[in-house]
Structure 1
Amino acid sequence: MTDKREITLEVGDKEFTFSMTPQDVTKYFNAMTANNKVAPSHNLLSNTVAAEQRADLKAMLTNPVMTMQIAGALLEEYAPDVEIIVKKHSTTLSA
């Protein structure tokens, strides 16, 4: 698996291609706080979209809900397919 992944999302009638790296995602998560969610999402999208598509995307990012939806779809597609199982420990005491 390469460090950089190209992901294309279709939003309405437009397509946007994003180039994502682990550093982009790390920067996004590190900027996210309880009171600051939209700005990191906006920055992630703006900084990773193809340069020639940036103006069209910027027009869509005026709506904070749209910003969060697009960032969520991008991150979901970027995430690896890994099965994670949480094993529950028994709460009973052994003698």
Structure 2
Amino acid sequence: MTDVNRDITLEIGDQEFTFQMTPQVVTKYFNATTQANKVAPANNLLMGTVKQEERATLKPLLANPVTVMELAGALLEEYSPDIDIIVKKSSATLKA
């Protein structure tokens, strides 16, 4: 299993941005996300985890909400551990 505190670098165009991911920031993101509120938590995740010296360069890229969601999705996908999950079908038993 990978380390839960990770630096993840995303390349956007010809620029690189490094995000410092921890279980706490991911939990905060998921807890803030609701059916009616997705973009603001994603924006906060990106701006709150990118290296301080890269924030000013990242901010203009987040003007489009679709870009915000794509970047947050890529970041979370990379942070996610690789685990094998198999969903077993339950057998229905009929009582006579």
Shorter chain as denominator, the TM-score bin is over 0.9
What is the deviation of 1:92?
3.9
Aligned to 1:39: 40
- Give runs of aligned pairs for residues 1-95 of structure 1, distance below 5 A: 1-93=2-94
Per the normalisation by structure 2, the TM-score is 0.93
Per the normalisation by structure 1, the TM-score is 0.94
Uncovered stretches (5+) of structure 2, i.e. residues with no partner = none
Cα distance per residue 1:38-89 (max 9 Å; x no partner): 0000000000000111011101000000000000000000000001010111
Identity of aligned residues (%): 65
Structure 1: 4+ residue segments shifted above 6 A: none
Letter in 2 for 1:52: E
Letter in 1 for 2:52: A
| Pairs aligned (count) | 95
Letter in 2 for 1:26: T
Letter in 1 for 2:43: H
What is the deviation of 1:94?
5.9
C-alpha RMSD of the superposition: 1.2
